[in-house]
């Protein structure tokens, strides 16, 4: 937890320093992304509670945030279309909700690898500082073994073995650019299970981090 707090503070100070510096020098923003790259890093939250809205409104029970790191690389075909690859780690924590049951007897590891196609509205909106987008793609994630007890009667305890599952990903997000090279990214993803296994339900992943654009 101390490591996470330290990295969070460092990330916040980086955003602040870049923003102040951009204001001093009169920030310029990219208007041409064609055939270029950006790289990102930050934190993620996983909600695998089985709730569509409840998971968002009750983060204390449903949001997993332990070893919650991600790295990403994005290639821009042009100003509208790009491809982004992301790997992320987290843990399903004891006491949190998984598929309408409480995890007991320790944490379970979480790892995901995703490849998504993005469509940006930057040219449509003529907005190069605030850069919103939508995306669609696919991924693979794995979850370590754990025990859980159902939230509802008869409160059965069951063991979930380590699993891997394919997902279809969709969602939205935005970049907020402080300068031509540095920005902040917020990403909201819905990951829909593609294995046809009802026991291992769909889940959501939210991420926040820094992004560096190669000029």
**Which of 185, 180, 110, 117 is closest to 140 using CA atoms?**
110
Query: Which pLDDT value is given to residue 27?
Result: 64
**Which of 15, 5, 27, 55 is closest to 209 using CA atoms?**
15
Domains of the chain plus CATH, in order, are 2-213 (2.40.160.20)
Task: Give the Cα separation of 64 and 176 in Å (integer).
Answer: 25
Task: Give the Cα separation of 207 and 135 in Å (integer).
Answer: 14
pLDDT exceeds cutoff 50 at 135: yes
44-66 per-position pLDDT tens digit: 999 999 887 766 778 999 999 99
Query: How does 32-65 read in b/e, with b if 16+ C-beta sit within 10 Å?
Result: ebeebebebbbbbbbbbbbbeeebeeeeeebbbb
Structure tokens at 24: 């001093």
Q: Which of 47-61, 75-89, 106-120 has the lowest mean pLDDT?
A: 47-61
- Cβ–Cβ < 8 Å for 72, 85: yes
Query: Which pLDDT value is given to residue 213?
Result: 97
Structure tokens at 85: 């690859």
pTM (2 d.p.): 0.86
User: DSSP for 160-177?
Assistant: E--EEEEEEEEEEEEEEE
- Give the mean model confidence (pLDDT) for residues 181-189: 97
Q: What mean pLDDT, rounded, does the chain reach?
A: 87
- Give the mean model confidence (pLDDT) for residues 168-175: 97
């Amino acid at each position: 937890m101390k490591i996470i707090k330290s990295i969070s503070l460092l990330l916040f100070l980086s955003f602040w320093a870049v923003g102040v510096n951009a204001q001093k020098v009169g920030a310029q923003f990219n208007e041409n992304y064609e055939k270029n790259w950006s790289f990102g890093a930050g934190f993620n939250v996983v909600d695998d509670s089985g709730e569509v809205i409840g998971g968002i409104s009750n983060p204390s029970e449903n949001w997993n945030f332990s070893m919650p790191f991600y790295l990403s690389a994005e290639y821009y075909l042009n100003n509208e279309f790009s491809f982004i690859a992301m790997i992320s780690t987290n843990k399903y924590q004891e006491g949190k909700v998984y598929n309408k049951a409480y995890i007991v007897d320790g944490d379970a590891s979480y790892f995901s690898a995703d490849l998504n196609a993005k469509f940006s509205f930057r040219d449509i909106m003529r907005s190069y500082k605030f850069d919103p987008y939508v995306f669609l793609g696919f991924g693979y994630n794995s979850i370590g073994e754990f025990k859980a007890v159902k939230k509802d009667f008869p409160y059965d305890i069951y063991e979930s073995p380590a699993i891997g599952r394919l997902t279809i990903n969709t969602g939205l997000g935005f970049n907020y650019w402080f300068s031509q090279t540095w920005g902040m990214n917020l990403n909201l993803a819905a990951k829909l299970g593609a294995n046809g296994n009802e026991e291992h339900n769909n889940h959501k992943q939210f991420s926040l981090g820094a992004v560096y654009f190669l000029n």
